[in-house]
Amino acid sequence: MTSPAASAYDVVVIGGGAAGLSGALALGRARRRVLVLDDGTPRNAPADGVHTLLGHEGVAPLALLATGREEVARYGVETVSAAVAGAERTPEGFRVVLADGTSVGARRLLVTTGLTDVLPDVPGLADRWGREVLHCPYCHGWEVRDLPLGVLGTGPLSFHQALMWRQWSDDLTLFLHAMPELTDEQAEQLDARGVTVVRERVARLAVADDRLTGVALADGRVVPVEALAVTPLFTARTGFLDGLGLVPVERERGGQVVGTVLPVDETGATPVPGVWAAGNVTNPSAQVVGAADAGVRAGAAINADLTAEETAAAVAARRAAREWDERYAQSERVWSGEPNTELVRHVTALPPGRALDLGCGEGGDAVWLASRGWRVTAVDVSRVALGRAARHAADAGVADRIDWQRHDLATSFPAGSHDLVSAQFLYSLTDMPRERILRSAAAAVAPGGVLLIEGHAGLPHWEDADAHGDIHLPTPDEVVASLRLPAGEWEVLVSEEHERTQLAPDGTPAVRTDNTVMLRRLPR
């Protein structure tokens, strides 16, 4: 698994069952970049087949999931066998930590981890779960029709469960075990339906030749049954979400707590913004077809949410470009035309290769690099600045060595890897996700290449700090930490503050402090 900086998905789906794969299918068809993480422990794995799923009646659970993985792969969805240990919020969305310590980034999460069936503490019960010990009559009733059946009482709902299972067999026994004593009305209904009631507490299950043969009671009697229905406690599998403050709530039915679920709205959205959930983790009674439907609906809702975010970002990008164009149009030249001093200082000794200049402005740095033999991709948001920079390059005779590209780095990033990525005073007139952009810059550095970041350590004395609101100018160490570089893959060459002289608006020289960070990606 790669690092978050190199692997940011639109959506990470946690859980690869029917809900998760269906959600991934909807998102993949919407051209989203999707990763499905699955720990390989589907709840229905012990079952002989999936039922009441039109077109797939009786299909083996694992075969259905294998087909699903093949289908989502056709739309670019990646599926990885991995357990998730935790999740935390980041400026870009979320960081999902895997059990092996690696992590991956996501803009949105879809949780489809299902639930754990907590069974009553009856010896032999867990060993037969999913075989002759059953829960859902619609899933398994047909396969045990007309056999001697039992219902293990665990609470008030077991009465209703007995009436339901009577549809599949006229030889049915309700073992009261841990449930309350029947009311007169309940006893009458069961008697009318021919359901035998056993009040003696259950001691264990009787098994012969690897088949359930009966229920052994505390008094030593054995009541013959060939299948036993039980209502487990359905516990949502969500421990890894604790870091997001997303915790399950109790679900009651008929006055009995039947388990825990993640609270969601009709689209699958949880109370934590950016996190959706679907399937049995939100609805214990959902069968495969219902879980799949919930997954599709959640996937569509996530796509709509991402679309709204992208539209807002596009509008902001257009406004930012307009503001920069207006600024550059106010004068024939905004910057000096000379390369940044720290770029010259740190790059002069490097052998020329491929360079990426982020926020190139009027092209001073790009032209200098090209004149020293570099092949340069120079990026800016302003068409006015790029046009001016291209003319500068032509005048300098290096136009053929520079590829000028227009990008708002908050919404798009140039492709390719580079031997040098330079971000000199990368700031904006509007809000800009500088940390995220710099992480993308690090990801664009080729093995053996260099990332050079230059920034301000503080505002000059002639600027009003109050006018800049809560702006934070990070220290070099904070810049390095914000890149979240994988351990053992980078070395820090420079991390320092330094002073330089700059002319104030009134023309007088003034000293201000900047900082430089230079890192090298280690060769593979």
Q: What confidence category does residue 337 fall into, taking pLDDT thresholds of 50, 70 and 90?
A: confident
pLDDT tens, residue by residue, 457-496: 866 655 544 444 456 788 999 999 999 898 899 999 999 9
What CATH number is associated with residue 481? Answer: 3.40.50.150
pLDDT above 50: residue 44? yes
Average pLDDT value for residue range 321-336? 87
CA distance 351 to 263: 57
Residue 461 lies in a domain: yes
Return the HEC string of 182-249. Answer: CCHHHHHHHHHCCCEEECCCEEEEEEECCEEEEEEECCCCEEECCEEECCCEEEECCHHHHHHCCCCE
User: Which tokens in the block code for residue 114?
Assistant: 């299902």
CA distance 257 to 341: 69
Q: Are residues 249 and 219 part of one domain? A: no
Q: Decide: helix, strand or coil at residue 20.
A: helix
CA distance 4 to 227: 49
pLDDT tens, residue by residue, 408-453: 888 889 999 999 999 999 887 667 788 889 999 999 999 999 999 9
* Confidence (pTM): 0.79
Q: What confidence category does residue 504 fall into, taking pLDDT thresholds of 50, 70 and 90?
A: low
Residue 321 lies in a domain: no
CA distance 404 to 424: 17
Q: Is residue 177 within 8 Å of 200, Cβ to Cβ?
A: no
Query: What is the predicted pLDDT for the residue at 524?
Result: 83
Q: What percent of the chain has pLDDT over 70?
A: 94
pLDDT above 60: residue 399? yes
Q: What confidence category does residue 26 fall into, taking pLDDT thresholds of 50, 70 and 90?
A: very high
Q: Are residues 472 and 351 part of one domain? A: yes
Residue type, 116: T
Average pLDDT value for residue range 3-23? 82
Q: Are residues 339 and 265 part of one domain? A: no
Q: Is residue 458 within 8 Å of 476, Cβ to Cβ?
A: no
CA distance 311 to 350: 41
Residue that is last in its domain, among 182, 210, 229: 229
Q: What confidence category does residue 298 fall into, taking pLDDT thresholds of 50, 70 and 90?
A: very high
Return the HEC string of 377-436. Answer: EEEECCHHHHHHHHHHHHHHCCHHHEEEEECCCCCCCCCCCEEEEEEECCCCCCCCCHHH
The dihedral sign for the CA sequence 336, 340, 345, 351: negative
Burial (0-12, 13-18, 19+ Cβ within 10 Å), 83:
middle
Q: Are residues 505 and 427 part of one domain? A: yes
Give the rounded distance of the alpha carbon of 4 from its chain centre.
Answer: 11
Query: What is the predicted pLDDT for the residue at 467?
Result: 42
Q: Decide: helix, strand or coil at residue 62.
A: helix
Pairing of strands 103-111, 93-98: antiparallel
Q: Are residues 256 and 111 part of one domain? A: yes
What CATH number is associated with residue 287? Answer: 3.50.50.60
CA distance 491 to 133: 58
Q: What total of structural domains would you count in the chain?
A: 3
Q: Are residues 467 and 353 part of one domain? A: yes
Residue 286 lies in a domain: yes
Residue 316 lies in a domain: no
Q: Is residue 240 within 8 Å of 86, Cβ to Cβ?
A: yes
Q: Are residues 295 and 206 part of one domain? A: no
End-to-end CA distance of the chain, in Å?
Answer: 16
Q: Are residues 134 and 100 part of one domain? A: no
* Mean pLDDT across the chain: 91
CA distance 524 to 519: 15
Q: Is residue 363 within 8 Å of 390, Cβ to Cβ?
A: yes
Residue that is last in its domain, among 171, 196, 229: 229
Domain that holds residue 441: 331-521
Q: What is the DSSP letter of 64?
A: H
CA distance 374 to 85: 44
Q: What is the DSSP letter of 287?
A: -
If you search the block for the tokens 């919930």, which residue do you land on?
Answer: 294
Residue 135 lies in a domain: yes
Structural Rg of the chain based on CA atoms: 32
The DSSP annotation for 438-488 comes to HHHHHHTEEEEEEEEEEEESS--TTS-GGGGTT-----HHHHHHHT-PPTT
Longest Cα separation, the chain: 103
What is the spatial order of strands in the sheet that 354-358 belongs to?
A: 402-406, 375-380, 354-358, 418-424, 445-456, 509-521, 490-503
User: Which tokens in the block code for residue 445?
Assistant: 């550095």
- CB count within 10 Å of CB 127 equals 13
Most confident listed range (37-51, 361-375, 505-519): 361-375
pLDDT above 90: residue 257? no
Q: Are residues 134 and 104 part of one domain? A: no
For the chain, helix (H) and strand (E) counts, in that order, are 11, 26
Give the rounded distance of the alpha carbon of 443 from its chain centre.
Answer: 19
Residues with Cβ within 8 Å of 377's Cβ and at least 6 positions away in sequence, in order, are 354, 355, 356, 357, 402, 403, 405, 414, 416, 418
Query: What is the predicted pLDDT for the residue at 474?
Result: 87
Closest Cα partner for 338 from 362, 312, 320? 362
Residues with Cβ within 8 Å of 364's Cβ and at least 6 positions away in sequence, in order, are 335, 336, 337, 338, 339, 340, 392
Residue 322 lies in a domain: no
CA distance 148 to 379: 75
Q: Are residues 383 and 487 part of one domain? A: yes
Q: Are residues 149 and 113 part of one domain? A: no
Residue 323 lies in a domain: no
Q: Is residue 83 within 8 Å of 99, Cβ to Cβ?
A: yes
Query: What is the predicted pLDDT for the residue at 2?
Result: 36
Backbone angles phi, psi at 171, to 5 degrees: -115, 85
CA distance 10 to 26: 13
Q: Are residues 50 and 19 part of one domain? A: yes
Query: What is the predicted pLDDT for the residue at 508?
Result: 75
Residue 480 lies in a domain: yes
pLDDT tens, residue by residue, 83-133: 999 999 988 899 999 999 999 999 999 999 999 989 999 999 999 998 999
Q: Is residue 500 within 8 Å of 509, Cβ to Cβ?
A: no
Residue that is last in its domain, among 209, 229, 249: 229
Query: What is the predicted pLDDT for the residue at 263?
Result: 96
Average pLDDT value for residue range 151-167? 94
